[in-house]
Amino acid sequence: MSTAATAAPVNLLDFDVDGLVAWFAGLGEKPFRARQVMRWMHREGCDDFDAMTDVAKSLRAKLKEVAVIRPPQPVRDSVSTDGTRKWLLDVGNANAVETVFIPETRRGTLCVSSQAGCALDCAFCSTGKQGFNRNLSAAEIIGQLWLANKLLGAARVDANEAATEAATEAAADLEAGEKDNGRIISNVVMMGMGEPLANFDNVVTALHLMLDDHAYGLSRRRVTVSTSGIVPAIDRLRDECPVALAVSLHASNDALRDRLVPINQKYPLRELMAACRRYLERAPRDFITFEYVMLDGVNDSDAHARELVALVRDVPCKFNLIPFNPFPNSGFERSPAERIRRFATILIDAGIVTTTRKTRGDDVDAACGQLAGQVQDRTRRTVRLHKAEEARR
């Protein structure tokens, strides 16, 4: 057996096209071979080298010795009464992450995780209460899209369709009713478990694959990264891979946001708003989406709404109001529907596009803020929370 064959096989899902070309060069192979394999992997959903019929037989044999195509494997598959589908995916060492598919009339959105747990500990988020274990690899991130496409039976998008989409992107993506060219998964949002920009390099590799015509060929408008506000990483994303940006805002002033979103203590609202303005210089959309979870009696007053109007006056934006999705021992309650309506009206009257997110998948704990997975916490946060709970009893 060759020396290469004795080493751990390389997971080809870890590479974007440039990385795969470089890796193939190390095997003495030309760049077009890397692109062939990439199309088989991502556009065809193929994980069997023998099935790659236009790849040289000698190369297929070599790849079987030194490489694998291995996405995370599902351990649970849950379907909500509204059609939302959630997978619990094994990422090793007793850790599992969650991926959610949300079907809608004119689009299908996949919500992808970037970390096993989350280190940011936002007060109202179930994921944060599970603690943090590690960043996901690029293969584990893009593998969620790879697997969902396969499990959902997504139709193959051929080269002609990808070219047509690129040519008509500007027109097709203007409104929420934009066409999806027959894809089952037409949009991807990095809004699952974890803070994407805290796992920057692996997330960007996965983003490159989502956008690459040799892989998934999605429009930059159809791929969204959500962040709690890591300002230097927002600037890096603008420079390296500007996709649609959503910011988990959740508060209208620093004192409240320090409590709800602790990263605000390092990057306060003034710095965050400046980063948003800079991002818009290269963003594929001409606005930032601000996500705002509605917490009864905490951040949902008329005064908070008016503070938000003043806060974002220089940032072209839209607001997505999210009714809080409860989880055990959260300590928060959902704002009443009338309070949310009144809050939205103040923003709308100020000329800000505002929507209230329809809760999807809450019966299978797939709604926003409910994703928890299984996390072997390295931060001891769960231990501290348990001790604090015991002390209160």
Percentage of the chain exceeding pLDDT 70: 84
Taking each helix axis from N to C end, the angle separating 17-26 and 31-38, rounded to the nearest 10 degrees, works out to: 130
Q: Where in the chain is the domain with CATH 3.20.20.70?
A: 73-392
What contacts 24+ positions apart, CB below 8 Å, involve 1-9? 2/65, 4/65, 4/66, 5/65, 5/66, 7/66, 9/65, 9/66, 9/67, 9/68
pLDDT band at 221 (very low <50, low <70, confident <90, very high): very high
Give the whole-angstrom CA distance, residue 237 versus residue 197. 8
Percentage of the chain exceeding pLDDT 90: 73
Task: Name the nearest CA neighbour of 154 among 113, 188, 108.
Answer: 108
CB 187 within 8 A of CB 102: no
CA distances from 118 to 71, 123, 169, 187, 374 (A): 21, 12, 34, 23, 12
What is the tens place of the pLDDT at every residue in 154-208?
433 433 444 344 344 434 443 433 444 568 999 999 999 999 999 999 999 999 9
The pLDDT of 318-332, averaged and rounded, is 90
Res 21 pLDDT > 90: yes
Q: What is the pLDDT of residue 182?
A: 61
Task: Name the nearest CA neighbour of 108 among 213, 229, 270, 218.
Answer: 218
The pLDDT of 372-391, averaged and rounded, is 61
Give the whole-angstrom CA distance, residue 286 versus residue 84. 29
Q: What is the pLDDT of residue 153?
A: 86
CB 247 within 8 A of CB 276: yes
Q: What is the pLDDT of residue 157?
A: 40
pLDDT band at 305 (very low <50, low <70, confident <90, very high): very high
Q: Where in the chain is the domain with CATH 1.10.150.530?
A: 3-68
Give the whole-angstrom CA distance, residue 184 versus residue 85. 13
Q: What is the pLDDT of residue 142?
A: 98
**∠ CA(96), CA(153), CA(98), 5° rounding?**
15
Annotated catalytic residues are 98, 368
Q: What is the pLDDT of residue 358?
A: 80
Q: What is the pLDDT of residue 365?
A: 54
Q: What is the pLDDT of residue 377?
A: 80
Task: Name the nearest CA neighbour of 10 among 29, 1, 18, 19.
Answer: 19
pLDDT band at 380 (very low <50, low <70, confident <90, very high): low
Give the whole-angstrom CA distance, residue 321 versus residue 343. 9
- Give this prediction's pTM: 0.87
CB 114 within 8 A of CB 199: yes
Q: What is the pLDDT of residue 216?
A: 97
Q: Is 372 helix (H, G, I), strand (E, B) or coil?
A: coil
Q: What is the pLDDT of residue 176?
A: 38
What is the tens place of the pLDDT at every residue in 237-280?
999 999 999 999 999 999 999 999 999 999 999 999 999 999 99
The fold adopted by the segment(s) 3-68 is DNA polymerase; domain 1 (1.10.150)
What is the tens place of the pLDDT at every residue in 337-367?
999 999 999 999 999 999 998 875 555 554 4
Q: What is the pLDDT of residue 379?
A: 75
Tokens representing residue 238 in the block: 């603008």
The fold adopted by the segment(s) 73-392 is TIM Barrel (3.20.20)
**∠ CA(337), CA(338), CA(339), 5° rounding?**
90
Write the DSSP assignment of 323-359 as a string of letters. E----TT----BPPHHHHHHHHHHHHHTT-EEEEPPP
User: Which residue reads 């890796």 in tokens?
Assistant: 23
Q: What is the pLDDT of residue 27?
A: 95
The pLDDT of 50-78, averaged and rounded, is 96
